[in-house]
Amino acid sequence: MIGKTEQEIELMREPNRIVRDCLNFVGERIHAGMTTKEIDELVYRFIKASDAEPSCLGYCGYPASACVSVNETVVHGIPDGRVLREGDIVSVDLCAYKNGYHGDGARTFAIGAVSAENEKLIRVTEECFFRGIEGLKAGTPLYDIGYRVQQHAEKNGFSVIRAYTGHGIGREMHEDPSVPNFGRKGTGMRLPVNTVICIEPMIAAGGFRVNVLDDGWTAVTRDGKCAAHYENTVVVREDGVEILTL
Ligand code: MF3
Ligand code: CO
């Protein structure tokens, strides 16, 4: 019972549109001198003003509406008083709940001029998502997605984070199946029509190993090199995918 009905997919459009619009809203305002907490406030207000709920707030005790992950933080950065500086790269991941369903998406933003390597890291991470969905349709083996993501990341000299994966989404923020960003071609379940999944490459400029800080959330690369994150919620259709957060 992994595939969703057309009616459920209709209900999922709105929370996902809100996620998309909120990520664009943040992208237009993010700048050097701003704190990560201020980004979280923008997200909270945007989602509330859209008559939706920020799914992350209170999820397993998570204390904010968005994950704001700077430089070597891979995911789940907790917004605080940290001030963004020119040259930083900042991943913003957020979820909205409306109509009884969740939407989920993430983008990595450059603050002013960033290093050539970080610019490439952001670009390749986005490309990894689009590689991941190439040829994806009902019946595709699940791990083909990760295989394609990994090929593209490693071809560019980067590594794929293993400790976190994409996921199914619907009435719950995290549903089956888990969607790794690595894998062997031709393996895994064949995706049923109308499966709704979050595909979210998390790509590191150095090694893929991470540590979680004492706050229990913040995941940082062990080697201190930067990481980027790009995520969309997609519907696996008979003949391709429909992206709900673009
Ligand atoms: N949006 C994240 C994901 O892609 C979930 C964030 S964890 C939370 O799975 F605790 F912040 F909600
Ligand atoms: Co997410």
**Whether the model pTM is above 0.95:** yes
Taking the C-alpha atoms of residue 234 and residue 82, their distance in angstroms, rounded to an integer, is 32
Residue 237 has pLDDT above 90, yes or no: yes
Residue 166 has pLDDT above 80, yes or no: yes
Query: Which residue puts its alpha carbon closest to atom 11 of ligand 1?
Result: 56
Residue 150 has pLDDT above 70, yes or no: yes
pLDDT in tens, 169-221: 999 999 999 999 999 999 999 999 999 999 999 999 999 999 999 999 999 99
Choice from 56, 102, 164, 169 to test ligand 1 binding pocket (greatest atom count within 8 A of CB): 56
Pair of tokens at residue 196? 């709704």
Residue 128 has pLDDT above 90, yes or no: yes
pLDDT in tens, 184-198: 999 999 999 999 999
Q: How far is the CA of 232 from the centre of ligand 2 (A)?
A: 8
Name the band, by pLDDT with cuts 50, 70 and 90, for residue 2. Answer: confident
- Give percent above pLDDT 70 in the chain: 100
Quick one: which of 134, 193, 145, 147 has its CA closest to 167? 145
Contact indicator for 89, 228 with CB cutoff of 8 Å = yes
For 165-194, the DSSP string reads -EEE-SSSSSEEEEE-S---TT-SPBPPTT
Residue 1 has pLDDT above 90, yes or no: no
Q: How far is the CA of 191 from the centre of ligand 1 (A)?
A: 23
Residue 54 has pLDDT above 70, yes or no: yes
Contact indicator for 71, 223 with CB cutoff of 8 Å = no
Q: How far is the CA of 234 from the centre of ligand 1 (A)?
A: 16
